[in-house]
Structure 1
């Protein structure tokens, strides 16, 4: 299946690089990550196009057939435009529609300085990476701790495998040796790298830390890998997209996903 969306194309390449399985069914792809079955966007369907009206429940049924043990439903729809108004059938079937924005840049704008004492650097040690899992946990505090930390540590293993391959790095902002903000970036194609999971502890927001780690990760990637384009995704409305635009990113496309999360992850 020829994928038009830059967002999905880079997502899938990263998954493929970390051992996920991708099956092409012609009308859709089936993406599986056996090593992390609760990773919503490592276990999903990517449709070539929207189903015909009335076909939404059939698509959801196809997901459940492919992933009979999954408690979630995750479906992507290829394309570059905002399809929100055309996906009401999925909303009626109980799913949440998110048509976010994919942004790109080839040159970063320097952010404002962070406060004295904040250290911006790459994650290196086991403790650094465990700190990343703990930081993520703060953003999903309603989820059972054991369930979430198992998922987060498996995600860490995937990213550390990419670091070991020499295709990217995750940077963090540390306050008193505690990781409070982080962003990863990894090369997916010649001249192209994709950011992953920009996260900031709620108590440390609006301090310029997200901008600092996104800039540090991107600057490292541009200097190290001879890149032309950095790719990042964000909610269309919110603080994150404003931060990215302030760093020189411009809107490139819309990126439509559908989710039905189990109650524990809602």
Structure 2
């Protein structure tokens, strides 16, 4: 005897079990779409067996004996990519913070924040590479093109982070400033900005980390930096130099991520507890030294 039958026998009405028809139909439709998409792609299925061997072959060509003679030029181009990422991050943050604050529901009016949010959504929909290709016709093949593309492309995401952070600030300080007679400008300056500043600065450094990775991709379309050098030597099949460049890119990215991550943790957590404990213990030590001298 099932549980539902036993429940009805004693006069209890259990809710009906949810129907699995709709989830099953959706799963079948998704599976059909995936199979149709894979079947429509020109995939050489017969060559998949030789793919691991080819990967090992090219990895051996790149990393068995890297060409370290090009290391000075690679370091210089890496520095150009980092500079491009830094300039792009600064431009993005300088523009996105005021625009993002105006797009917050507790700062900007509805007639202003809705168009701004629509603009941010449009910018987020356009990849950095497309923006760089459009700018190439105006600014040419220079690192400034990459920096400008990174700045414009980052405004959409960075501004979204800004207004979401502003909207998540607790209302206590805002209500206090409002009770003291402050308007929207005073509330933004003395209540919202002090509370959101650490998070926004952390997001700014995170944007710099993202730009470092993206700057190498922009170099593939002629925006300069290590990406352009990598694209050139890949086209000429100089795999030993390509391997050296990949090593430099990976190490430089890891180094900058570690430095930026340490700064972001310091901003979010503040000074270390150990430092505070030493500062609190110092007066006690001085008091004990005075007691010994007496």
Name the TM-score, length of structure 2 as normaliser: 0.24
Query: Based on CA coordinates, which of the two structures has the bigger radius of gyration?
Result: 2
Q: Which has the higher contact order (CA 8 A, sep 6+)?
A: 1
Higher strand share: 1
Higher helix share: 2
